[in-house]
Amino acid sequence: MLDINLLRNNPELVKENIRKKFQDEKLPKVDEVIALDKEYRASKTKGDYLRSQRNAISKKIGALMGQGKKEEAEEVKKQVAEIAAQLAELEVKEEELQNQIKTIMMILPNLIDPSVPIGKDDSENVELERFGEPVVPDFEIPYHVDIMESLDGIDLDSARKTSGNGFYYLKGDIARLHSAILSYARDFMIDRGFTYYIPPFMIHGNVVNGVMSFAEMENMMYKIEGEDLYLIGTSEHSMIGKFIDTILDEKALPQTLTSYSPCFRKEVGAHGIEERGVYRIHQFEKQEMVVVCKPEDSMKWYEQLWKNTVDFFRTLDIPVRTLECCSGDLADLKVKSCDVEAWSPRQKKYFEVGSCSNLGDAQARRLGIRVNGENGKYFAHTLNNTVVAPPRMLIAFLENNLESDGSIRIPEALRMYMGGKEKLVKK
């Protein structure tokens, strides 16, 4: 959410940002919120004047009663009552105006960083850098479900019966590999100085509204019927929510956190969930990283966060690239974002396995996360990034570590989590 002072002082900057995000339908909202804000401030000014009048007049009542001028005192009481009635009306009006302003402010996009490439959608995202040599072996690589089934590691039919499409049973070595990757990701981030968390997997609606836009919430979140609770789509939601309505000591920054959680997503607009496959699913697990920091440090942390993911994947012999999201592909709360994509030798292309985002002070404004600094209080900056999200990451792992005989090579970094195994063998 933007600072209202920005709209008051530089509405053209806000409008230009909206144009860069190709959301011209929101342009009239800027003038609308400025008009509402003007009306709100005028109402506040009038209210302050009436309160001062009420206080001044009220002081006369005691003096008049002390002088025995009861009738005059009663007349003054009537004036006070009239002012009180006017104030009550103004307070109702002010609350309505505040709600109208907040509703509009919640849909205005955050100011993007000047370095963000301008483009309408994800087709105009920009490749930044490649890490590792993408290889296509001289043998055929099966579909990832076929690889898993050859290792007796997945049961989609049973999951379809119990839960529907978009769910799965992992078993045997594949289930163990899934857990091993998450355990390794946990320790990888702890070794980089992050504090490990297991957060709540359900959060209140006000936290949801604080961490994401309404459109994202509608498309992603599962609501618990009859309760003010939502299943989280990523642990970032509850980890940022952890700081709601808090004032952090500047000396306690940055807060660097890494969290494990299951994730639940509707995947609305996905044009149907694949019956065979674990690329787009309703339930998965993820290791996340979250940073709460001073504004001047957020870009430094943004660079560090995506590099953590690149380093993690390279230790598992998986080639990756970074892809910067263009303006039209950025969610409204984001200042800057890039995807980490893994190489698929089967498809001969890269596909997304994680996303790194700098949200500036947008989430902090919505959630009331402030910092007590030397020069007063200010809103913190928040960032998040995926360390790893199996089972999607398993696709990249299996394809890039597949041998010609159908076995799966286990990179050295992962062997201690797999009981010392160096490879997985076809059943």
Based on its alpha-carbon atoms, the radius of gyration of the chain, rounded to whole angstroms, reads 28
pLDDT the model gives residue 275: 59
| Mean pLDDT of the region 31-55 | 91
pLDDT at residue 101 in the model: 95
Q: Compute the average pLDDT of residues 8-32.
A: 97
Angle at 403 between CA 398 and CA 407, to 5 degrees: 70
CATH fold, domain 122-424, is BirA Bifunctional Protein; domain 2 (3.30.930)
Give how far Cα 61 sits from Cα of 51, 64, 65, 72, 78, Å. 16, 5, 6, 8, 11
Q: Is 80 exceeded by the pLDDT of residue 70? A: no
The amino acid sitting at 144 is H
Predicted pLDDT of residue 277: 83
Q: Cα separations (Å) of 413 from 15, 184, 275, 394?
A: 49, 8, 33, 15
Report CA-CA distances (Å) from 90 to 56, 58, 255: 19, 20, 42
CATH architecture of 4-105: Orthogonal Bundle (1.10)
pLDDT > 90: percent of the chain: 81
Helices 392-400 and 172-191: crossing angle in degrees, nearest 10, is 100
Residue 74 pLDDT greater than 90, yes or no = no
Average pLDDT over residues 76-89: 85
Q: Over the stretch 292-351, which tens digit does the pLDDT of each residue have?
A: 999 999 999 999 999 999 999 999 999 999 999 999 999 999 999 999 999 999 999 999
Q: Which of 25-34, 77-86, 151-160, 176-185 comes out lowest in average pLDDT?
A: 77-86
Instruction: Enumerate the CATH 1.10.287.40 domain ranges in the chain, comma separated.
Output: 4-105
Residues 234-289: tens digit of each pLDDT: 999 999 999 999 999 999 999 999 999 999 998 755 545 555 788 888 999 999 99
Q: Which two tokens stand for residue 238?
A: 């509850």
Domain with CATH 3.30.930.10 in the chain: 122-424
d(CA 224, CA 203): 10
The whole-number pLDDT of residue 272 equals 54
pLDDT at res. 117: 97
CA 425 to chain centre: 39
